[in-house]
Amino acid sequence: MRKELRFSGSGGQGVITAAIIFAEAAVAEGKEAVQSQSYGPEARGGASKAEVIIDDKTIYHPHVETPDLVLAMTQKAADKYYKDLNPDGLLVLDEELVPNPPDFPHIVRVPITKLAIEEVGKPLFANIVALGALTHLTGLVSFDQVKDSVSHRVPQVGWDAVEGK
Amino acid sequence: MERSYEKYFRQNRLPHLWCPGCGNGIAMKAIVQAIEKKGLSQDNTVIVSGIGCSSRASGYMDFDTLHTAHGRAIPFATGIKLANPDLNVVVITGDGDCTAIGGNHFIHGCRRNVDLTIVLFNNEIYGMTGGQASPMTPLGKKATTAPYGSVDRPFDACKLAQAAGATYVARSTAFHVNHLVDMIAGGLDNKGFSFIEAYVQCPTAYGRKNKMGSPANMLKWMRDNAVMKAAWDKLPDDKKTGEKFPIGLFYSAPAEDYDTAYDEVIERAGGATK
Amino acid sequence: MAKARLMQGNEACAEGAIAAGVNFFAGYPITPSTEIAETMAKLLPKHGGKFVQMEDEIGSMGAILGAALAGAKSMDATSGPGFSLKQELIGYAACAEIPCVLVNVQRVGPSTGQPTAPSQADVMQARWGTHGDHPIIALAPWSVRETYDVTVMAVNYAERFRTPVILLMDEVVGHLREKVVLPEHVDVYPRRKPKKTRAEGYQPYTPDDDLVPNVADFGQGYHIHVTGLIHDETGFPVGSPKITEDSIARLHEKIARAGDEIIHTESSFMDDAEYAVLAYGGTARTAYEAVRAARAKGIKVGLVRLITIWPFADKVVAALAKKMKGILVAEMNYGQLVGEVRRAAAGACPVELCGKYNMQAFVPAEIESAIDALVAAHQ
């Protein structure tokens, strides 16, 4: 059941934190999970990419080869990171920040940052909104577990953000 | 004559390797006299040194002693003191060891204010390697690497220590032995980073290159040029001429030492307190 | 049983160190090792230990050596450029026989290189980086859980042999987060103690039966002298050819004679193997995947993983070479440990390199095609 997920955006959007929380939720549910990341030297604004692999068996090679899902929170990340997607995989885009969706058959556009601003009141929580969307879309981890993992990492978050309301 | 300080030396390691007339022995003896004066236990005091003529002193002193790498005495001493705060830690270093290769450790040691007592034997030259210029060789003085006179502007190590945050800063000379003992003893009293510069004569390298005459003449030079701080402060600037320099306690501003501050870190972290 | 956690390799290193009794850490920030210092700064004061951020890489190495002499179990962590700067004091620790652990989370070099990118290019520096002649122990974990275990092992070896131990991590494992269940108990090797009093003629550098001296900690009343100069059993420098020779030979021999205890390797798919991939650290995870894929194609290939890099597993490799039709060494560099493998194989079978040094970690297909090429060339 190896599933490979890639979270991408720019530094400061919290994609690495989102990936860590997703992997933590999987571990808490007894699955095998690894999380890795790459980033530019800038703390804010540089390209940022995090990867999560979830499996029911031991994971050896720890990096994503053919992602089953790519989340892109910027146009630049979308253009750069969708190309090696599994043809049956899913490309999840921030609706506002990726105005020109790449040419891929399975795309889901979610107003991630807009929801974070309008519903949660903080663009900083866009990553948590994204996490909610991915939980819905993948079914890899349960909603309650993700909520629990979020509360460990980001105690101040509003639950509406996770539930994607 | 009572020679009670002799018990602080490893008799089987003497005589020392310093040249006849060298001032290092005077400074070394001043350290143990200050230790005796303050009643520090030999079992509980560690002498840490770097590399160079000065730093050979550790081997002659009957304590736990550590002869480290060039310039690194202060970091080693920092580790010792933080690992076992019950130990008194004295660092012996030289002008090259402390202010050239160890310069970064020196200023950060001052800033960090770990409870260490640093005694810098300033012979104004690299003695062990045969007389090269150090960052404390005065302008115009000769060394094998400054055969036409040094044009490198020298450090005033006491000013450097004070500016960098040392909480006790003093200077004395091998001529002013009792004063030197007092200056070191004051450093041992200060719970924080104490810095004492001790002028010592190097007749073999510095003295010979700079035509300073015999060791006795070099001591006389200290007598004639060192000015007690109180008198120095009253001297008008136009009288602070030639080779005159101040000695005495320049700065004393006790402040919380690193280890005491770290106890608060332990408390904030919820760890076990002592 | 302890709970499963998602933990980063660098965090596991810090947690393992604390479990093994490390109570002093001095460090200087450098990517990709910084999380070790950060975790130690957070955890040590909770566990009665101390953390100090020093002014530079050399200072932090000096501080851990001083702390070790005063009785602490001490550790420092760095990456390539810092590792270079610490070399003199690694040699000092070897010569003065000071127990300590130095972690090097390797990144791409030379010079500043690629700070956030993985590499395994300090393998030879770990062995030969210092001036002079001394042995070293270097260990390379391949997973987060093993990082914990190997850190404990490193601390124990440092104490057991009174020597610096290098934990040769790589960015792949250091920054990887993965599921771990930590053990509830680890065995800890205690600080060696003097067996004689001063009055009985104690000398700090008299070797015990295992050739390791029982050097007293400072503050115990022994009045010992410690120096980086070559010294005799008293600890004082001696300029004698005989003592110099004996002293250097003993440093080597105390580690060499314990080789079977120190050298750890692990084999997978090796029972009927005709070819072997040899790898270590993060690369071995990818090599495992490649071997599994090659097996699926019917190639009789296995994986031999080195956990102990130094001392080198000469006997393991020599025996392996006699049985294999070919060995492939996969490492993230231009070819370092492959030279040791060739030396130990001594011509018994061909040894090929699969090297990578472009700031990206291996993917399984690269090693798999190198296996195909090895098989095609050496039937």
**Residue A136 CB neighbours (<10 A):** 13
Is residue C291 predicted with pLDDT exceeding 90? yes
Strand partners, C7: C178
Determine, yes or no, domain membership for B17: no
Is residue A40 predicted with pLDDT exceeding 60? no
Q: What is the pLDDT of residue A162?
A: 52
Q: What is the pLDDT of residue A43?
A: 56
Q: 3-class DSSP state for residue C41?
A: helix
- Whether residue C363 and residue A39 make contact (CB cut-off 8 A), yes or no, is no
Which of C5, C288, C361 is the closest to A27 by Cβ? Answer: C5
Q: What is the pLDDT of residue A93?
A: 97
Strand partners, A50: A7, A37
Residue B43 touches chain C, beta carbons under 8 Å: yes
The domain made up of A3-163 has a fold known as Pyruvate-ferredoxin Oxidoreductase; domain 3 (3.40.920)
Is residue B151 predicted with pLDDT exceeding 60? yes
Q: What is the pLDDT of residue A1?
A: 86
Is residue A12 predicted with pLDDT exceeding 70? yes
Architecture of the CATH domain C265-377: 3-Layer(aba) Sandwich (3.40)
In the structure, what pLDDT confidence band is assigned to residue A165 with cuts at 50, 70 and 90? very low
Q: Where are the domains of chain C?
A: 4-181, 265-377
Q: Do domains C4-181 and C265-377 have the same CATH topology?
A: yes
- Angle (CA) B20 B24 B27, round 5°: 135
Determine, yes or no, domain membership for B182: yes
Residues 6+ apart with CB under 8 A from A56: A1, A31, A32
- Angle (CA) C8 C9 C14, round 5°: 95
pLDDT digits (tens, 9 = 90+) for B48-86: 999 999 999 999 999 999 999 999 999 999 999 999 999
- Whether residue C223 and residue B42 make contact (CB cut-off 8 A), yes or no, is yes
Residue A128 touches chain C, beta carbons under 8 Å: no
Domain count, chain B: 1
Q: 3-class DSSP state for residue C172?
A: helix
Residue A65 touches chain C, beta carbons under 8 Å: yes
In the structure, what pLDDT confidence band is assigned to residue B273 with cuts at 50, 70 and 90? low
- Whether residue C24 and residue B79 make contact (CB cut-off 8 A), yes or no, is yes
Q: How far is B144 from B132, CA to CA, in rounded Å?
A: 5
Q: How far is C228 from C237, CA to CA, in rounded Å?
A: 9
Nearest-Å Rg of the Cα atoms of chain B is: 18
Residues 6+ apart with CB under 8 A from C342: C351
Residue C200 touches chain B, beta carbons under 8 Å: no
Residue A46 touches chain C, beta carbons under 8 Å: no
Task: Give me the percent of chain A exceeding a pLDDT of 90.
Answer: 76
Task: Give me the percent of chain C exceeding a pLDDT of 70.
Answer: 100
Residue A39 touches chain C, beta carbons under 8 Å: yes
pLDDT digits (tens, 9 = 90+) for A42-83: 556 677 899 999 999 999 999 999 999 999 999 999 999 999
pLDDT digits (tens, 9 = 90+) for C210-268: 999 999 999 999 999 999 999 999 999 998 999 999 999 999 999 999 999 999 999 99
Interval C115-142 mean pLDDT: 96
Q: What is the pLDDT of residue A124?
A: 84
Which of B69, B87, B112 is the closest to C218 by Cβ? Answer: B87
Q: What chain A residue is nearest to C171 in terms of C-alpha separation?
A: A36
Residue C126, Cα to own-chain centre: how many angstroms?
8
Chain C nearest-CA distance from A74, in A, is 22
Is residue C300 predicted with pLDDT exceeding 70? yes
- For C4-181, which CATH class? alpha beta
Burial pattern C322-342, b for ≥16 Cβ within 10 A else e, equals eebbbbbbbbbbeebbbebbb
Q: What is the pLDDT of residue A119?
A: 85
Residues of A in contact with C289 (CB under 8 A): 60-61
Please report which helix (H) or strand (E) contains residue C329, including its range: strand C326-331
Q: 3-class DSSP state for residue C151?
A: helix
Distances (CA, A) of C139 to B46, C169, C354, C355, C356: 33, 8, 21, 20, 21
Q: How far is B158 from B13, CA to CA, in rounded Å?
A: 32
Residue C366 touches chain A, beta carbons under 8 Å: no
Q: 3-class DSSP state for residue C243?
A: helix
- Whether residue C179 and residue A32 make contact (CB cut-off 8 A), yes or no, is yes
Residues of C in contact with A59 (CB under 8 A): 178
Q: What is the pLDDT of residue A155?
A: 66
Q: Whole domain around residue B104: which residue ranges?
A: 22-229+240-269
Determine, yes or no, domain membership for B101: yes
Is residue C294 within 8 Å of residue C366, measured between CB atoms?
Answer: no
Residue the block writes with tokens 């202010």: B99
Q: What is the pLDDT of residue A28?
A: 96
Is residue A160 predicted with pLDDT exceeding 70? no
pLDDT digits (tens, 9 = 90+) for B18-54: 999 999 999 999 999 999 999 999 999 999 999 999 9
Is residue C31 within 8 Å of residue C115, measured between CB atoms?
Answer: yes
Mean of the per-residue pLDDT values for chain C?
97
Burial class from Cβ neighbours inside 10 Å (0-12, 13-18, 19+) for residue B9 reads: middle
Is residue C359 within 8 Å of residue C114, measured between CB atoms?
Answer: yes
Interval C347-363 mean pLDDT: 96
What does A102-161 look like in DSSP terms, one character per residue?
Answer: -S-SSEEEE-HHHHIIIIIS-GGGHHHHHHHHHHHHH-SS-HHHHHHHHHHH-TT--HHH
Is residue C44 predicted with pLDDT exceeding 50? yes
Structure tokens at C217: 């900690």
Structure tokens at A108: 């889901």
Interval C27-51 mean pLDDT: 97
Residue C364 touches chain A, beta carbons under 8 Å: yes
**Touch between chain A and chain C: 3 or more Cβ pairs under 8 Å:** yes
Query: Which of C40, C50, C60, C88 best probes binding to B when mutated, by most B CB atoms within 10 angstroms?
Result: C50
Residue B113 touches chain C, beta carbons under 8 Å: no
Q: Where are the alpha helices (DSSP H) in C164-207?
A: 171-174
Which of A27, A41, A65 is the closest to C179 by Cβ? Answer: A27
In the structure, what pLDDT confidence band is assigned to residue C1 with cuts at 50, 70 and 90? low
Mean of the per-residue pLDDT values for chain A?
90
- Whether residue C285 and residue A20 make contact (CB cut-off 8 A), yes or no, is no
From B183, B73, B54, select the one nearest B127 (Cα to Cα). Answer: B54
Residues of C in contact with A24 (CB under 8 A): 6
Q: What is the pLDDT of residue A153?
A: 82
Q: How far is A52 from A67, CA to CA, in rounded Å?
A: 9
* Predicted-assembly ipTM surpassing the 0.95 threshold: yes
Residues of A in contact with C175 (CB under 8 A): 36-37
Determine, yes or no, domain membership for B245: yes
At residue B155, φ and ψ (nearest 5 deg) are: -80, 145
Chain C nearest-CA distance from B78, in A, is 6
In the structure, what pLDDT confidence band is assigned to residue C356 with cuts at 50, 70 and 90? very high
At residue A82, φ and ψ (nearest 5 deg) are: -85, -15
Interval B177-193 mean pLDDT: 98
Distances (CA, A) of C158 to B75, B203, C335: 20, 45, 28
Tell me the pTM: 0.96
Is residue C292 predicted with pLDDT exceeding 50? yes
- According to DSSP, residue A93 is labeled E
Question: Using N-to-C axis directions, what is the helix angle for A126-138 and A15-28, rounded to 10°?
Answer: 40
Chain C nearest-CA distance from A45, in A, is 17
Q: What is the pLDDT of residue B214?
A: 97
- Whether residue C218 and residue B42 make contact (CB cut-off 8 A), yes or no, is no
Task: Give me the percent of chain C exceeding a pLDDT of 90.
Answer: 98
Is residue C226 within 8 Å of residue C235, measured between CB atoms?
Answer: yes
Residues of A in contact with C292 (CB under 8 A): 60
Is residue A41 predicted with pLDDT exceeding 80? no
Determine, yes or no, domain membership for B6: no
- Angle (CA) C13 A53 C273, round 5°: 80
Interval A93-105 mean pLDDT: 96
Is residue B230 within 8 Å of residue B211, measured between CB atoms?
Answer: no
Interval B150-176 mean pLDDT: 98
Which of C6, C285, C363 is the closest to A24 by Cβ? Answer: C6
Q: What chain B residue is nearest to C235 in terms of C-alpha separation?
A: B59
Is residue C96 within 8 Å of residue C227, measured between CB atoms?
Answer: yes
Chain C nearest-CA distance from A25, in A, is 9
Residues of C in contact with B42 (CB under 8 A): 223
Residues of A in contact with C176 (CB under 8 A): 34-36, 62
Q: Where are the domains of chain A?
A: 3-163
Chain A nearest-CA distance from C332, in A, is 14
Burial class from Cβ neighbours inside 10 Å (0-12, 13-18, 19+) for residue B259 reads: middle
Q: What chain C residue is nearest to A21 in terms of C-alpha separation?
A: C6
Distances (CA, A) of C138 to C72, C81, C312: 21, 18, 9
CATH of the domain at B92: 3.40.50.970
Is residue B1 predicted with pLDDT exceeding 80? no
In the structure, what pLDDT confidence band is assigned to residue A114 with cuts at 50, 70 and 90? very high
Q: How far is B47 from C136, CA to CA, in rounded Å?
A: 28
Structure tokens at B134: 């150090």
